[in-house]
Amino acid sequence: MFTKNDMAELQGIIITERVASAKGKRAAARELSMSADTVSKYIDLLEYSMGKKILVVTNNHLTFTRFGKQVVALGSRIEREMEYLKFTARNISNEGEDSPSSSYLLVSVNGLELRINEDSARDLYERLSIHLKDASL
């Protein structure tokens, strides 16, 4: 069972990932609509509970430790899973609700409807996400 402390650690993981992607605590704090002190407190709590340093700050420069890089990677995976869950919630068919194996995503583009088996859709979604992310770089 998830405890209150587990939830705070999960938030710390997600906040750590945001610090990495925003390239700083202040920028991450702005994106998350919280103070930089709150961002630091969540990271400090995660470091304390894990017994490992996540990042080192020197002359206003952040450097992630090896463990910190693992935390960032985990945060990225959690973020991708959440995006997929939201995508699925918006697009999954409610037909055959009693039989989960009949679930599919319905994608409509320019009047063309495409029904994709839910299991195949996950793979397709992840591949498209990677290509779209690469294209935006």
The backbone torsions φ and ψ at residue 13, rounded to the nearest 5 degrees and listed phi first, read -65, -45
Q: ∠ at Cα 128 (125, 134), nearest 5°?
A: 140
Q: What is the pLDDT of residue 137?
A: 47
Q: What is the pLDDT of residue 11?
A: 94
Q: pLDDT per residue over 32-87, tens digit each? A: 999 999 999 999 999 999 999 999 988 878 999 999 999 999 999 998 888 888 87
Measured CA to CA, the distance from residue 126 to residue 54 in angstroms comes to 28
- Alpha helices per DSSP H over 33-106: 36-50, 66-91
Q: What is the DSSP string of 3-42?
A: -HHHHHHHHHHHHHHHHHHHTSHHHHHHHHTS-HHHHHHH
Read off the tokens for 83: 């995006």
Identify the structural domains of the chain with CATH numbers, from first to last. 4-74 (1.10.10.10), 92-136 (no CATH)
